[in-house]
Amino acid sequence: MFNAMKSFGLEIDQEACWGCLTCIVACKQENGATDAASLIMVSENGPQLQSDRLEFTYAVNVCRHCEIPACVTACPAEAISQRVDGIVILDAAQCTGCQLCLDACPYEAIFFDEVENTARKCNLCYHRVDQGLMPACADNVCLAHCIAYNKV
């Protein structure tokens, strides 16, 4: 059974993820995120006993770049915007740290950076996408090859 999570341009095969966290490392390096904040999250579920052996499953969570993003309207500082191509961007320099966007996101995909006192979220590496490249998390760094980028 294929269990995929779709995001704007990202397709993640949740069952293929083995929790290597290279997507998080690539994202942090590409976007300069502090250790206190992640723009992509991998959570571990388990262990669960399956046929006399312990199994772990992992779930990848990242901004879905909603068609009508609730975080945009929730932000009183107008720090979150949606580009014409649908990519939702959070400008940390404009963020006041009110955290209203965290509550508005139905996917819990916006994180608060306590060090910088700003919200952070996946921006689909739009600076790379604009150059015809893939987002850092999907650029052949995923060892399980569970994150794919599809131009929309």
Is the predicted pLDDT of residue 145 greater than 50, yes or no? yes
Find, among 47, 43, 49, the residue nearest to 24 by Cα.
43
Q: Cα dihedral sign for 101, 41, 144, 129?
A: positive
pLDDT bucket at 33, cuts 50 / 70 / 90: confident
Is the predicted pLDDT of residue 1 greater than 50, yes or no? no
**CATH match for 4-149 among 3.30.420.10, 3.40.640.10, 3.30.70.20, 3.40.50.300:** 3.30.70.20
Percentage of residues in the chain with pLDDT exceeding 90?
59
DSSP state of 134: P
The model's pLDDT over 92-118, given as tens digits with 9 standing for 90+, comes to 999 999 999 999 999 999 999 998 999
> Looking at residues 55-77, what average pLDDT do you find?
93
Is the predicted pLDDT of residue 6 greater than 60, yes or no? no
- H/E stretch holding 23 reads helix 22-31
In sequence order, the β-bridge partners of residue 57 are: 45
> Looking at residues 42-51, what average pLDDT do you find?
81
In whole numbers, what is the pLDDT of the chain averaged over residues? 88
Domain boundaries, given as residue ranges, for the chain = 4-149
The model's pLDDT over 78-90, given as tens digits with 9 standing for 90+, comes to 999 999 989 999 9
Q: Where are the beta strands (DSSP E) in the chain?
A: 4-6, 10-13, 40-50, 53-62, 80-82, 88-90, 110-113, 118-121, 147-149
**pTM of this structure:** 0.85
- The pLDDT value recorded for residue 4 is 53
> Looking at residues 1-15, what average pLDDT do you find?
68
Is the predicted pLDDT of residue 2 greater than 70, yes or no? no
